Amino acid sequence: MWFDKLLYPFKVATAWVMVRLHDVFVFLGMDDGSGPAWVLSIIGLTIIVRILIFPLFFKQIKASRGMQAIQPEMKKIQDKYKGKKDPASRQKMSEEMMALYKEHGTSPYSSCLPILAQMPIFFALFRVLASTSQIAAGTYNYKSLGPLTASKAAEIEGSTLFGAPLSASFPTAPDLQAKIIIVVMIVAMVITQFITMRQLTMKNMPESAKDPSNPMMRSQQMMMYTMPLIIGFSGFFFQTGVLIYWFTTNLWTMGQQFWTIAQMPTPGSDAYQKLMNKRRGDYIEWARPVFEEHDASMKNIDEDDAQAREDLIKSTLKTVKKRASKQKVPTKFPAEVTPEQQLAAYRELAYSEWDGLPDERWTKKFDKSRRQATESNERVQPKRLTKRERQARDAAIRRREERERQIAARKNELSPEELERRREERRAQRREAARKKKEDKDKRDRKKKQ
């Protein structure tokens, strides 16, 4: 079968991981042969795969947020071509959408990367479990599947999950108890799949993306309800081992998403607002007393004692930065930002409303304002030239004055008639250049229309 040949490298890799994990569990004290160690090896396989594709998970988050951010612009493009069904308009709309994706560095397909990346392993596990009986009986195309020998395959055949064989599906289950266990696994798989999709759709989306008229929102809501049903129907043809793999994957995804929503929510979402309010409350709780103590100490210092005031500012700033770093408030500023300016920035956070979580951009704005002030100052005050630059400037002025004298001298040597003739020639050259430019433009327009 060509599909088995295509999956063969993945089947060997899957079998190798399962056998080696089984050996580890046996080494740790679990029973050799058929038993729970093979169930745990499938769970371990799932965890290893999820760890390997972890970078794709963050790409998925970035792509999902990018798609949410461009929805207002996407809707404008769709409204622009609303009702236009001709091929030219549809192609133009597609081109504008692709340009928008490219500009924001996102794609509607990037959010599928984690699922697509583990599909080969999923199908490989399906085929490995389907082949264990043949490998155990010695009728498989190969003597073994990597380290999965006939004896190991027989152990998998004899392993069960609460009475449901790992290599059996609902139609091939040996008894009612096994069928009930498989149905329970399918229901658990469907529920966890629905929860993982609902997390992203309802809890981690900004309000602008929740508009019912938003095509992306409608699509995600449809997927949220139809995908679990499709997976549930397919689950009746999956072996118990595959159901364990999928259920473990869903649990892992749920944990990842709970952590992501709690620590890195989408800006504008309910989770983001909740996290921002919590961090602001925690920050105010300790920051305001620190600044009140700082102000009281500053009043007791003589205004002429600049050194004491500077020491107090540095001491307070050190205390604030130490506490702020524990709450993920940035502590690194551009080198040109003075301690007093830094302390004023932290004070502003303690006594004002937050429009977003403080991050690296919060400290970079000081560097931006400094550059703007420097550029403004340079425009007001001319740059002080070095001796070499002044000499080069004076030489350029002398050359320009010499050229002007030569031109004036030539004009004086020519008669008024000759000067007028040359002016007319220059006018004719400009008219001819304008005519050629217009002809070229008309040619380009005709080609576009064709």
Domain identity same for 146 and 249: yes
Rg, Å, the chain Cα set: 36
Residues 143 and 47 in one domain: yes
Residues 111 and 213 in one domain: yes
Q: What is the pLDDT of residues 197-253, one digit of tens each?
A: 777 666 666 555 555 556 666 666 777 778 888 888 888 999 999 999 999 999 998
Please give the average per-residue pLDDT across 189-194, as a whole number: 90
How confident is the model over 443-449, as a mean pLDDT?
Answer: 80
DSSP state, 105? T
115 burial (CB, 10 Å; 0-12 / 13-18 / 19+) is middle
Tell me: pLDDT of 330 over 70. yes
Q: Are residues 212 and 305 in the same domain?
A: no
pLDDT tens profile 68-92: 667 777 778 877 887 777 888 888 8
Question: pLDDT at position 253, please?
Answer: 86
Question: Cα–Cα distance between 363 and 386 in angstroms, integer?
Answer: 35
Q: Are 182 and 169 in contact (CB under 8 A)?
A: yes
Does residue 97 fall inside a structural domain? no
DSSP 145: B
Q: What average pLDDT does the segment 351-356 reach?
A: 85
246 and 298 inside one domain: no
Return the pLDDT at 381: 45
Please indicate, yes or no, if residue 134 is contained in any of the structural domains: yes
Share the mean pLDDT of the chain: 81
pLDDT digits 0-9 by tens, 129-180: 888 888 888 888 877 788 888 899 899 989 999 989 999 999 999 899 999 9
Residue 385 gets which letter from DSSP?
P
pLDDT at 414: 63
Q: Contact, 245 vs 122, CB < 8 A?
A: yes
Q: Is residue 152 part of a domain?
A: yes
In this structure, is residue 391 part of a structural domain?
no
Arithmetic mean of pLDDT, 396-400 = 79
Integer CA distances (angstroms), 269 to 198, 220, 261, 266, in order: 14, 16, 10, 6
- Read off the tokens for 76: 């404008």
- Is residue 19 within 8 Å of residue 39, measured between CB atoms? no
Among the candidates 213, 234, 263, a domain finishes at: 263
For residue 111, the model assigns a pLDDT of: 64
- Domain membership of residue 411 (yes or no) is no
For residue 35, the 8-state DSSP code is S
pTM above 0.75, yes or no: no
pLDDT of 64 > 90? The answer is: no
Residue 274 lies in a domain: yes
Query: Would you say residue 382 has pLDDT above 90?
Result: no
Residue 430 lies in a domain: no
The domain boundary residue, chosen from 245, 263, 281: 263
pLDDT score of 374? 46
Structurally, the chain folds into a number of domains equal to 2
Q: 419 in a domain, yes or no? A: no
Phi-psi label, residue 215: left if phi above 0, alpha if psi -120 to 50, beta otherwise: alpha
The pLDDT of 414-431, averaged and rounded, is 77
Considering the domain architecture, whether residues 171 and 59 belong to the same structural domain is answered as yes
Angle at 156 between CA 153 and CA 159, to 5 degrees: 155
- pLDDT tens, position by position, 12-59: 999 999 999 999 999 998 888 888 999 999 999 999 998 888 887 777
- Structural domain containing residue 38: 2-70+106-263
Whether residues 55 and 176 share a domain: the answer is yes
Task: Say how far residue 348 (Cα) sits from the centre of its chain.
Answer: 30
Q: Are residues 233 and 156 in the same domain?
A: yes
Residue type, 43: I
Q: What is the mean pLDDT of residues 280-291?
A: 91
Given 365, 380, 395, the domain boundary residue is 380
Query: Do 308 and 337 share a structural domain?
Result: yes
